[in-house]
Amino acid sequence: MIRIDINILSQDLIITDNNGLNISRYSISSAKNGAGEKSGSNCTPRGKHIVRAKIGAGQPLNTVFVGRRPTGEIYNHELSEKFPNRDWILTRILWLSGCEVGFNRLGDVDTMRRLVYIHGCPDTTEMGKPGSHGCIRMRNQDIVELFDRVPVGSFVNIV
Domains of the chain plus CATH, in order, are 3-158 (2.40.440.10)
Of residues 156, 133, 147, the one with CA closest to residue 59: 147
pLDDT score at 111: 98
Q: Are 157 and 47 in contact (CB under 8 A)?
A: yes
CA distances, 18 to each of 1, 4, 21, 49, 157 (Å): 6, 11, 7, 17, 15
Q: Are 103 and 109 in contact (CB under 8 A)?
A: yes
Residue 144 reports pLDDT greater than 90: yes
pLDDT digits (tens, 9 = 90+) for 86-117: 999 999 999 999 999 999 999 999 999 999 99
pLDDT digits (tens, 9 = 90+) for 37-85: 999 999 999 999 999 999 999 999 999 999 999 999 999 999 999 999 8
pLDDT score at 22: 86
Residue 33 reports pLDDT greater than 90: yes
pLDDT score at 148: 96
| CA pair distance 84, 33, nearest whole angstrom | 20
